[in-house]
Structure 1
């Protein structure tokens, strides 16, 4: 019972993190054309929330003998998220990051959502 509550809490935090990360990207869409898009605080906090809550969810699932964990799926999603976190950390204080950074963050975030939903 306790692990179910913990799992639910971390899953909600994971959804909040992805919402923040994707929302931060969507806010920057208008600036992409003029190359003035920045890595904003929503992307920073969202990516870190996703990383911490995702690792917590993985830990909880690994501890549950009844749960099956698709390690390949988790590995691919983790790789995409680590690239996102690195890009966010390296560019969050730059007034003009390279033009490819924000679209890459948005693309990898979308990829992560697709993998979570479509990879069964």
Structure 2
């Protein structure tokens, strides 16, 4: 079961890389006011959501103790990110504060995952 969990952790990291990478590729455009949510951002957020839910289930099945408060906060932040990206995905340009908020929430989610023990 550890191999399966590690595979989903890898897929979860690929999802965050896609979301953050999509944001970083649009940083220059954000400065010019022409940033948009690219499909990689939506797909990365969806990948994170699905693999995160699977990871919680697999870890519970293994009997590992889970920090449900941490997981709930991470899920809430991810749902906000996903909602913003999904709703604005077809717009030609997104306001810089909204686009920056998605980037800040993404980075916050990373730090919650890494630093909250």
TM-score by length of 2: 0.96
Residues 1:11 and 2:3 aligned together: no
Aligned residues: 117
Q: 1:100 aligns with which of 97, 101, 104?
A: 97
Alignment check: 8 A CA contact 2:31 2:96 kept? no
1:47 CA displacement: 0.4
Please tell me the root mean square deviation across aligned C-alpha atoms, in Å.
Answer: 0.9
* Structure 1 residue runs without a partner (length 5+): none
Residue 40, structure 1, aligned to residue 35, structure 2: no
Name the structure 1 match of 2:25: 27
Q: How far is 1:97 from its partner?
A: 2.3
Q: Deviations over 1:53-111 (max 9, x none)?
A: 0010011111112x110000000100000001001100111112233221111101000
Give the Cα–Cα distance (whole angstroms) in 2 for the partners of residues 33 and 99 of structure 1. Answer: 7
SS in structure 2 of the partner of residue 95 of structure 1: coil
Paired residue for 1:109?
A: 106
